[in-house]
Amino acid sequence: MASSLTKEATAPVAGGKTFLGHPLGLAFLFLTEMWERYSFYGMRALLVLYLSAAVIDGGLGLTFATATAIYSVYNAMVYLLALPGGWLGDRVWGPRKTTAVGGAIIMVGHFTLALPSAGTFYAGLALIAIGSGLLKANISTMVGQLYPDKNDPRRDGGFSIFYMAINLGAFVAPLTIGTVGQKVNWHLGFAMAGVGMALGLMCFVFGFRFLSSESTVVPSPMSAAEKSALWKKAGLWAALAVVFYGIVGGGGWFTVNWMLWPLTVLGLVLPVWYLVKMKRDRELSNTEQSRVSAYIWFFIVAAVFWGIYDQTGSTLTLFANDHTANTLFGFEFPSSWFQSLNPLYVMAFAPVAAWAWIALNKRGKEPSTISKFANGVFLIGLSFFVMMLAQAAATGDTKVTPLWLCAVYLIQTIGELTLSPVGLSLTTKLAPQKYSSQMMGVWFLAVTAGDSVIALLQLIGAPTDSQWWFASQGAIAVLAGVAVFMFRRKVKPLMGGVH
């Protein structure tokens, strides 16, 4: 495999075979992402339910607060590790090889979850987080590399198609992996996720020759001195961690919070540190510096958005399991199926959104990127106001109709379609050349920051099953959307001609 990963690929030939009018390489990246997301969302549909299920029912028997905090920290780490994943793509292996290595690690991680042991379960989560970090930033970068012209009108459409792959995998996963995990055996469901990643890795390898030759290039390779310094620093930090946790464990003080708190703080500090580091990089041109300044605005908005959105796998999952009637028109279904609603809506509306942006662009009426972001975060806030009403209706032993969650996911999906695909494309446009893959990792750090804030609130005991929980976050998101829209004329000049 190593030799194949470094073999030079030919760039897509103009006038050759295409995929829905796009370079053929997009088809193989589509399939790779689809199966990877199938494995990711399938496991995620079970995670909080498995952690909080009683031991007699095959779960780990954790409290709801601990289960949701583990979920939030895990999700934050998945996206946090996209940053070193992008760095490896930029400086060590190149995007293509880094993606392949990441896919292999994810596959091993899911099969590790399938082993019936609490110790191996947490090891499996760590492997999936590491592998996802390697894969996520680099596969999105390779989509951008299929369009050498940053203002190619097909570019946003290509990312929207790629986004469909995410949601196709995410739609099928809860219906299959969720059902098997909840109704048959938790660990068999986790094993199904491993099979999905194996299929995704095969699709990626088969599609090598259709990817841009740029995907094999290491944009900024490390010198021997830099590699030596890196190994020394990594060894030092690893040794300190071993000593610290050895003392804590040996003294009998270790609990899961000794892992959750440091990771939560890291998820909050590192995004800020990295943005400051890029902003102060004197090697960037004036235009690149300006674009980084503009990007900080989009980053903050995205963090607010994802902090709410990613609760589909935690607070909304527990609401679905404990407070929602899992029947509709006489048909009973597992609570994990609710997590298929969002990707179902995306598959229904994403083509419409992609067509609408192009049609409006031709007429000179397409909303600006800033306006799209403002609308997205406003709608995600509105969805939590609806959840506030649903929580109020679920008093005592009353279980509310599934239509509440159907409405919440619909509002979130419309917001997502105005923010997420556009954000992926915008990141590749605003990225300084020096940080081409790493910048996609920075985009995923917005998810880390948002999830870490939620994890922090859960760790300090905020009541996640209350009207206050949903109302306060909804208000913050709505206010953020209004603020971004009001300051749009100050941000646009900073974008350096990117639109």
Q: What is the pLDDT of residues 37-48, one digit of tens each?
A: 999 999 999 999
Q: What is the DSSP letter of 328?
A: E
Cβ–Cβ under 8 Å, residues 190 and 110: yes
Structure-block tokens of residue 378: 């406003």
Residue with tokens 């909804």: 474
Q: Which three-class secondary structure state does DSSP give residue 365?
A: coil
pLDDT higher at 111 or 241 = 111
Residue 9 lies in a domain: no
Q: Which uninterrupted H or E stretch holds 107?
A: helix 95-113
pLDDT higher than 50, residue 2: no
Give mean pLDDT, residues 53-78: 88
Residue 5 lies in a domain: no
> How far apart are the C-alpha atoms of 384 and 29, rounded to whole Å?
33
Q: Rounded to whole angstroms, what are the CA distances from 428 to 215, 264, 279, 295?
A: 14, 27, 17, 11
Residue 220 lies in a domain: no
Q: Rounded to whole angstroms, what are the CA distances from 348 to 31, 144, 177, 482?
A: 19, 24, 22, 28
**pLDDT tens profile 268-312:** 998 889 888 888 888 888 888 888 888 888 888 899 999 999 999
- Total structural domains in the chain? 1
Q: Which three-class secondary structure state does DSSP give residue 343?
A: helix
* Phi and psi, residue 238, nearest 5°: -65, -40
Structure-block tokens of residue 97: 């090889």
From the list 142, 141, 132, the residue with the least C-alpha distance to 207 is 142
Cβ–Cβ under 8 Å, residues 31 and 197: no
Parent domain of 69: 20-211+233-495
> How far apart are the C-alpha atoms of 182 and 332, rounded to whole Å?
13
Q: What is the DSSP letter of 460?
A: T
CB atoms within 10 A of CB 439: 25
Residue 228 lies in a domain: no
* Phi and psi, residue 23, nearest 5°: -55, 140
Residue 6 lies in a domain: no
Residue 11 lies in a domain: no
Residue with tokens 């971004």: 484
Cβ–Cβ under 8 Å, residues 98 and 443: no
Structure-block tokens of residue 203: 């699709």
**pLDDT tens profile 91-143:** 888 889 999 999 999 999 999 999 988 778 888 999 999 999 899 878 888 88
Give mean pLDDT, residues 253-279: 86
Give mean pLDDT, residues 470-496: 82
Q: Rounded to whole angstroms, what are the CA distances from 411 to 323, 325, 359?
A: 20, 20, 23
Residue 402 lies in a domain: yes
CB atoms within 10 A of CB 395: 9
Q: Would you say how long the chain is, in residues?
A: 499
User: The CATH number of the domain where 201 resides is what?
Assistant: 1.20.1250.20
> How far apart are the C-alpha atoms of 22 and 17, rounded to whole Å?
9
Q: Assign 159 a pLDDT band (cuts: 50, 70, 90).
A: confident
Give mean pLDDT, residues 490-499: 68
Residue 158 lies in a domain: yes
pLDDT higher than 60, residue 354: yes
pLDDT higher than 60, residue 7: no
